[in-house]
């Protein structure tokens, strides 16, 4: 919910806004009044969960500038999911921009865990 008026800030054509609203199916893992975590449909790790704010922000930089407390809530929920499903060990990835791999322009964290993760950003 937005901090100013409790009305969610949404974009009508946004895939993740539609998932958060319940208009599209997703396997919800956890949620709070401000953040939702759901399983990625094309997992890249044994545990691959997307953690998104209910409010629409295009990327992590916009979210951090607009609502730092909401960013903290997002990280907190990611940690809670990792605690319950991966012994608290996890990687949290935010892609910002097409060249960085962002394909849905609603800020989302990729929570990756469940195995020893290598490093290959390219």
Distance from C-alpha of 8 to C-alpha of 54, rounded to nearest angstrom: 7
pTM as predicted = 0.90
Computed from CA positions of residues 23, 81, 65, 43, in that sequence, does the dihedral angle turn out positive or negative? negative
3-state secondary structure of 35: strand
CATH number of the domain within which 108 lies: 3.30.428.10
Q: Flag whether 103 is in a domain.
A: yes
Tokens 């199916």 locate to 25
Please list the active-site residues.
108
Q: Flag whether 78 is in a domain.
A: yes
Domain that includes residue 61, residue range: 15-113
Q: Rounded to the nearest 5°, which phi and psi values hold at 67?
A: -155, 75
Q: Flag whether 8 is in a domain.
A: no
Per-residue pLDDT of the chain (122 residues; tens, 9 = 90+): 444 445 567 787 899 999 999 999 999 999 999 999 999 999 999 999 999 999 999 999 999 999 999 999 999 999 999 999 999 999 999 999 999 999 999 999 999 999 999 887 66
Q: Flag whether 120 is in a domain.
A: no
**Helix (H) / strand (E) containing 72:** helix 68-86
Query: How many domains, the chain?
Result: 1
Q: Flag whether 119 is in a domain.
A: no
Q: Flag whether 121 is in a domain.
A: no
């Amino acid at each position: 919910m937005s901090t100013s008026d409790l009305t969610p800030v949404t974009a009508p054509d946004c895939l993740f806004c539609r998932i958060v609203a319940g208009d599209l199916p997703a396997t919800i893992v956890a949620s709070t009044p401000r953040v939702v975590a759901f399983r990625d449909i094309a997992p890249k790790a044994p545990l691959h969960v997307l953690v998104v704010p209910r409010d629409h922000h295009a990327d992590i930089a916009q979210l951090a500038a607009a609502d730092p407390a909401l960013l903290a809530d997002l990280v907190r929920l990611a940690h809670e999911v990792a605690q319950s499903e991966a012994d608290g060990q996890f990687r949290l990835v935010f892609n910002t921009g097409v060249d960085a791999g962002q394909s849905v322009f609603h800020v989302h964290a990729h929570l990756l865990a469940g195995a020893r993760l290598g490093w290959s950003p390219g």
